[in-house]
Chains A and B, each alone.
Chain A
Amino acid sequence: MSEGSQGLLLAGVGGQGVILASMIVADALMRAGHDVKQSEVHGMAQRGGSVFSHIRWGERVDSPLVPLGSAEVLAAFEWAEAVRWVEYVRDGGAVVADVRTIVPPGACNDHRSWLRRYPGIDGELFDSRHLKTRLIDATATAEELGNVRAANSVILGTVAAFIDIDNKHWEAAIAHLVPKGTEEINLAAFRIGRDVAEARVPQTAPDPEGFSGPHQIEINHVWCKGCDICSRVCPEYCLAVDVDGKLTIIDAEACTGCKLCEALCPDFAIEISAPREPAVVGNQAAADGSTL
């Protein structure tokens, strides 16, 4: 550790304002007389991907990257990102996390068990590391103030409680860097963030029954004229019209029984029926991670 430099990690999703928030933190630390380095990666990450920023400060800072297990605070603007980056926090450090969730579409592609691959919100998840976990609903707090975009300032307010610099540096940095005209609301959000109440963890809905095996697709080739409607609408890409204009099943296993093809077939040539053996009921995917 270079002469006692400390670290902080900010993490969120592209478009949430992680970079601006980290510039505010870096500016505040600089105003407090510290050497500061702030490092991020952008580019691909802007496209709804995971965005993170490392900040290090102290008398003299060498690495701009926070070594694993050494950050004082992780500020996560989204729950799954808190889970993703928690390795960087030192034992006994703090995690400030927004309980709002941004579920990526990739978490909704399991058309068999219908389980979302998204970690359940659970402040006790980090208890074994003795982390000070603060779950807050910054968006709701900012909404009450009248501008959702001030949510990041609420989080910074909560983060500030874990960093030993004078409040005036934080407020000066915010006033300096937030968009003109929003200084007052962001400062108000920051002050509320300092002692905002813990959020109520949203209730999770029960998981559906799950997949009971692929449905049966039956094609009446006498009636089918190969018009191609069914294969174009099939969300699972089960069907195709071959070069001879004949409808074929290319992936019988993928049929989830949505019956779109059956409903849209102008010739009543397709029939979808329930799985022959309603076998092992889903939720097998639960094994590969926690679910919401």
Chain B
Amino acid sequence: MIITAAPKREVGSSILLSGNEAVAQGAVEAGVLVAVGYPGTPSTEILESIADRTDIDVRWSPNEKVALDVALGASLGGVRSMATMKHVGLNVAADTFMTTAYTGVGAGLVIVVADDPGMHSSQNEQDTRAYARMGCVPLLEPTNSAEAKAYTALAFEISEQFDTPVLVRTTTRTSHNRGLVELAPRVEHSTIGFTPDPTKYVMIPGHARRRRPVVLERLAQMSQYAEESSLTEEFGTGTDFGVVTSGISHHYVREVIPDARILKLGMSYPLPIERIREFAASVDRLFVVEELDPYVENDLLAAGIAVEGKSLFPQAGELNPDIVRAGFAKAGIVEEGLTIVPAPTTVTRPPLMCPGCPHTPPYLALKRLGAVVTGDIGCYTLAALEPLSSMDTCVAMGSSIGMAIGMAASGGADGPVVATIGDSTFLHGGIAGLADAVYAQANITVLILDNGTTAMTGGQEHPGTGVTLQGTPATPVDLLGMCKAVGVRDIRVVDPYDLAATYGALEDAISHAGPSVVITNRPCVEAPMKVRDTPFKVIADACTACQACMTPGCPSIVWSDELFEGRRKVVIDEVTCTGCTLCVQLCPPHAIVLVTNEEETANV
């Protein structure tokens, strides 16, 4: 789901756009014809914001590698194309990515990668700039929405000028920040067609060896481009000190020292090293303020330019004006910030599985079964937290199954080994793992939590949903048939809202020797449509305050002010209860009953 201002996009007007919407707008204006990606916070809304355009082919791929393959194929086929993903998505696409500099492009190819410093919604905070260097691919870093649009459009030009894919790197603070953007008309770029050239596009060793020097020569040309480009901008006055910035940290520096002398890098690979050397020579002290790794700093040091960076500004986590101020205060450039009175103690509010989430009951069962659970990436990863506390590992998309095979092989697990993976994640990176489970005859159970959507990122379509991003019907992938085809002999499909059946199915699957699969088949309660059934309520007089209903951690159930033998009774929030019946099945004194029609009507 995308929340958008749905502004009338009139050419010449300025509107508030998020960085993601601005990236999409830049691609639209540059005449992109194919835009592909896999959802991942904070990149997801780029494609969603242009899904309604009939003149652009906008699609979700099952994973980022396929997305980049599609975009590269489209580029070679002669149309401007774009691939979007989050930072860890580029790991998945890296195999293709690392050779794209060798093949070059047909029409412009732009790869938008959104980093997540601070790990608001990610498993690590790797710095995409390292990929630019490793892949010999230029990288642009917008600092705000206006630049997100402008740089994306420019990236297509650079791509075609130098025959290279171009990375555009955003971060959470540029992706999810709205700012004013002036709109321009779309410039159509019809297909230039595919020109077969096996020495360029067939990367056998003999061809690749001939392309390698081309890649390096191009890099030198792009360094020259960076030196002369208006992407490198100077701000402020003074000779006491200067600051090299890129991305959002530029604005933090200007916030703290509004008139600071700044050299802002719009292109942070390759670096305009001579421009920076000149800038450094014009100031007494040189700082670099960059989020995450000391990437620019190390390059400057290697080039013999004295600079201060990570000794003042942390490498871990996201920067903000307060942290940047503290760094400059340590350097003696500015005063310390205000002393802040700390906020009073309050309750922690971690993210939770929604009321009625079909992922909850299987984890309740796995906890009772004492399973060692290798988990995966999705909403269900929250099962690792209290009160379910029933997930032992979560590393990368699709890792659960391979890790379960290894865990079982190790013999070190104190309990049955169960891999849990969502439908979208299974299609993204789990299929090969399942094939290996069969191949290895691993004694594991794979629990596929099929809720019919990519829930964690807000409910995106995928090859199993039967609908495309642009709303056209598609043939859904048959998960059950796929498991059979891979060679799994023990497969069960179960309704997760039936706790006893779910427990039984898992218990039986675990007792099966060799690989087994359990598929749960309830849709997500939030997407593609909200599932709301008649809510339940607690009969206070019947409640014995046993807390059995609270073991799933449903957000709709909290303590009431009434006590039973000194313990707190519970109460259900009828507004948020979806009527999934899980608590009813857990309540020994049968104190949870349907809200009657009359009561429901009275509440509306």
Contacts and interface: CB of A to CB of B under 8 A. Distances in A.
A93 B303 CA distance: 48
A27 interface: yes
A44 B558 CA distance: 22
Given A37-B177, A109-B386, A118 B120 contact: no
B345 A288 contact: yes
A23 to B, nearest CB: 6
Contacts of A181: none
A205 interface: yes
Interface string A251-292: 000001111100110000000000000000000000011100
Given A65-B173, A68-B340, A260-B588, A43 B345 contact: no
A118 B347 CA distance: 5
B602 interface: no
B349 interface: yes
Contact of A87 (B41, B341, B368): B341
Given A48-B351, A87-B341, A258 B545 contact: yes
Contacts of B321: 63, 65, 67
Interface in A1-26: 1-3, 13-14, 19-20, 23, 26
Contacts of A19: 3
B327 to A, nearest CB: 14
Nearest to A257: B565
B344 A64 contact: no
B422 to A, nearest CB: 14
A64 B337 contact: no
A105 B258 contact: no
A43 B41 contact: yes
B5 A23 contact: yes
Contacts of B212: none
B173 A23 contact: no
A104 B121 contact: no
B438 to A, nearest CB: 29
A107 B252 contact: no
Given A44-B120, A105-B554, A49 B349 contact: yes
A168 interface: no
A229 B41 CA distance: 43
Interface string B166-180: 000000110011111
Contacts of A231: 368
Contacts of A257: 565, 567
B348 A68 contact: no
Interface residues of B, number: 72
Contact of B343 (A20, A84, A128, A288): A84
Given A27-B5, A47-B382, A87-B341, A235 B550 contact: yes
B379 interface: yes
Interface in B420-478: 456-458
A176 to B, nearest CB: 8
- Name the residue among A64, A67, A107, A117 with the largest chain B CB count within 10 angstroms: A64
Given A68-B337, A103-B559, 11 more contacts: A41-B121, A41-B172, A47-B354, A49-B351, A84-B343, A105-B352, A105-B553, A106-B347, A106-B349, A237-B367, A258-B547
Interface of B: 3, 5, 16, 41-42, 120-121, 144, 172-173, 176-180, 248, 251-252, 254-255, 258, 320-322, 325, 337-338, 340-354, 367-368, 370, 379, 382, 386-387, 456-458, 544-548, 550-551, 553-555, 557-559, 561, 563, 565-568, 588
18 contacts: A1-B258, A2-B258, A23-B5, A36-B179, A38-B177, A38-B179, A42-B41, A63-B254, A64-B173, A64-B251, A67-B255, A67-B321, A83-B346, A104-B350, A105-B553, A129-B341, A208-B563, A260-B548
Closest 5 CB pairs of A and B: A43-B121, A43-B41, A205-B561, A47-B351, A49-B351
Interface of A: 1-3, 13-14, 19-20, 23, 26-27, 30, 35-50, 61-65, 67-70, 80-81, 83-87, 103-109, 111, 114, 116-119, 125, 128-129, 176-177, 205, 208-210, 212, 231-233, 235-237, 240, 256-260, 263-264, 288-290
